[in-house]
Amino acid sequence: MHADPSRRATPATSVPTATRWIRRPQPRPAARLRLFCLPHAGGTPALFKHWPPLLPEWIEPLMVCLPGRENRFDEPLPEDIPALVAQLAGAVRPWLDRPWALFGHSMGATLAYELTQTLVAQGGPMPEHLVVSARIPPQRHRGGDLHRRDDDALCARLIALGGTPPELLSRPEFRAVVLPAIREDYRLIETYRPDLERAPLPCPLTVFRGRDDADLDAEAAGAWSCCTSADFRIESFPGGHFYLSDKPGVVVARLGALLAS
């Protein structure tokens, strides 16, 4: 185990400013570690809105905001995930002046994995930990055509997953605002073609999952083990695909303990 992380010296380097890609809801310039949080398809940094006050002071949360949402509403998503990750890598790189880790939920887990692979391949500093949540590993990836189907089919999928109140999805004005970004995200993830020839990541990898999540059972979660040559574990929580929204305090406490070790 490491010594108390809050007692570690922090680098005396200049701190980047928040950008359209990176939201910094609670600046902690003396934090020892930066934690990048990547949301699900159609998701925004609001998925993690309860996290900053729950995280220990030695962790600075940085929320990733993709094109097509919030104040990036008019920005189109790139053609595919490699193009998106290339842009995201450029946005993240200035923040890697101290230890860092990633937490990605659902589609965000795929992006976090691909981002880690890209940054490591570019010779960047190794993350202390990669935490993937509610997502099958690359070698289990399945394509799909939901992004080509009508709004009712897309809404039915969102309702099945949870996380979006059905009463909101019944409102035409709400659909008009949120469905375009969700559809584009599904296009990205459904047309994703992982490179299965890459070497396992040399950093610890942990899977977070809801015990009732039909999209990621325990066996599929275990298949992530081949994506790392370092420590691997699975952490399970009560709930379904959006287990992390049910009891964020429990999830964040487990995450903090994991990053401390």
Nearest partner of 195 among 145, 139, 155, judged by Cα: 139
Is 225 noted as a catalytic residue in this protein? Answer: no
Residues 6+ apart with CB under 8 A from 31: 10, 57, 58, 59, 60, 98
DSSP letter, residue 206: E
Burial of 60: CB neighbours in 10 Å, binned 0-12, 13-18, 19+: buried
Instruction: Could you list the beta-strand ranges (E) of the chain.
Output: 22-23, 33-38, 59-64, 100-105, 129-133, 205-210, 232-237
Find the catalytic residue in 14, 106, 133, 236. 106
Please give the positions annotated as active site. Answer: 106
